[in-house]
């Protein structure tokens, strides 16, 4: 029943984002319209894939860092991606994929630094240090980014910032193909870690005695969730709150067993982002809001509500 509802929700979100837009496309011509086929459809699919990836990454990271209020972007990746993109522009690197590649590289660099910080004594990965290190690296990268922007002062850089704060306007079938080929690998890694993640919720020592290979699981989960997030930020910028709110709502309905939770977070995240992107395109048409603004406008009140609920319970 709940799966049917979720599946239906995902379908409606996808359908709405294909049907709705500033240009009115009659229902009968939907399948033949260039606007639909070249603009809306790849954008809807990309939004779905990115939102789903963020939902899964968020759910897995919350279990890993043992903090139910963690967001995938807390781990410094957005800062790194922003720095990468701004550097690319400041250094006049051009080409259609320059920004995504630079952002991805920046996110990977941040990921590597945070991971290295989290490895205490070179052996055990400490999730608390991952969280703190992520915040620190993210702030550091943001500071450098701001320095570059304030020194360069070019109009282009403003666009980078806009791009960085969430936009699926660059969506194309190429981008969809790239994500569709890339994302399944980290997604499968996380799904395979579903049971060890259940055990990890008890703490590392009990998890070990219940058969989890704790160190390997922590590394795998951190890397896979971060690689998902890095790809998401590269194709669509920083889209906050999907990775935070969606796992939460999924937990309320599906409980805390990751074998059900992760697929639910994928469908839920996909549906939410496809829906948010439709709003972003349509509410102030013909102009467009960054989708990160829409997810924040939806997500922050939900988050505040959850926070209250969590602290009272």
Select the residue interacting with another protein from 205, 286, 311, 312 (CB under 8 A): 205
Nearer to another protein, 31 or 210 (CB): 210
Select the residue interacting with another protein from 85, 89, 212, 273 (CB under 8 A): 212
d(CA 25, CA 85): 35
Which residues, 6+ apart, have CB-to-CB distance to 67 below 8 Å?
A: 131
If one asks whether residue 307 binds another protein (CB under 8 A), the answer comes out as no
Q: Where in 173-202 is the site for another protein (CB under 8 A)? A: 192, 195, 198-199, 201-202
224: exposed, middle or buried (C-beta count within 10 Å: 0-12, 13-18, 19+)? buried
209: exposed, middle or buried (C-beta count within 10 Å: 0-12, 13-18, 19+)? exposed
Smallest gap from Cβ 247 to another protein, in A, equals: 11
Contact 247, 261 (CB under 8 A): yes
Select the residue interacting with another protein from 213, 284, 305, 309 (CB under 8 A): 213
H-helix or E-strand containing 286? none
d(CA 309, CA 69): 12
Select the residue interacting with another protein from 40, 220, 251, 281 (CB under 8 A): 251
Nearer to another protein, 219 or 257 (CB): 257
Smallest gap from Cβ 205 to another protein, in A, equals: 5
Smallest gap from Cβ 40 to another protein, in A, equals: 36
d(CA 167, CA 165): 7
Select the residue interacting with another protein from 25, 63, 175, 176 (CB under 8 A): 63
Strand-pairing partners, residue 124, are 120
Nearer to another protein, 15 or 189 (CB): 189
Nearer to another protein, 130 or 148 (CB): 130
Smallest gap from Cβ 206 to another protein, in A, equals: 4
Q: For the chain, where are the alpha helices, taking DSSP H only?
A: 2-19, 34, 41-64, 77-90, 98-118, 127-152, 155-164, 173-182, 184-192, 194-200, 204-209, 214-236, 242-254, 258-282, 291-312
Q: Where in 252-271 is the site for another protein (CB under 8 A)? A: 255-257
Residues in contact with another protein by CB under 8 A are 63, 66, 68, 192, 195, 198-199, 201-203, 205-206, 208-214, 251, 255-257
């Amino acid at each position: 029943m709940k799966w049917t509802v979720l599946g239906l929700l995902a379908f409606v979100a996808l359908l709405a984002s294909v049907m709705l837009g500033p240009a009115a496309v009659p229902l009968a011509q939907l399948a033949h319209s260039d606007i639909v086929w070249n603009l809306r459809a790849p954008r809807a699919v990309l939004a779905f894939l990115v939102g789903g990836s963020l939902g899964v990454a968020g759910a897995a990271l919350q279990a890993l860092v043992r903090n139910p209020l963690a967001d995938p972007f807390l781990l410094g990746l957005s800062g790194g991606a922003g720095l990468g993109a701004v550097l690319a522009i400041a250094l006049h690197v051009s080409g259609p994929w320059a920004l995504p590649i630079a952002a991805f590289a920046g996110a990977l660099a941040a990921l590597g630094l945070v991971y290295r910080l989290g490895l205490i004594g070179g052996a055990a990965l400490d999730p608390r240090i991952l969280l703190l290190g992520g915040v620190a690296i993210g702030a550091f990268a943001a500071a450098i980014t701001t320095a570059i922007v304030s020194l360069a002062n070019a109009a282009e850089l403003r666009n980078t910032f806009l791009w960085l704060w969430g936009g699926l306007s660059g969506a194309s079938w190429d981008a969809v193909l790239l994500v569709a080929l890339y994302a399944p690998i980290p997604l499968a890694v996380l799904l395979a870690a579903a049971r060890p993640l259940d055990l990890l919720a008890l703490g590392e020592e009990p998890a070990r005695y219940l058969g989890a290979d704790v160190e390997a699981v922590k590394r795998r989960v951190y890397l896979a969730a971060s690689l998902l997030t890095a790809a998401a930020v590269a194709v669509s910028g920083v889209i906050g709150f999907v990775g935070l709110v969606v796992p939460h709502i999924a937990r309320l309905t599906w409980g805390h067993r990751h074998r059900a939770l992760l697929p639910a977070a994928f469908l839920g995240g996909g549906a939410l982002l496809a829906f948010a992107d439709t709003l972003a395109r349509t509410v102030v048409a013909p102009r467009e809001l960054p989708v990160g603004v829409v997810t924040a406008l939806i997500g922050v009140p939900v988050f505040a509500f959850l926070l209250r609920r969590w602290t009272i319970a």
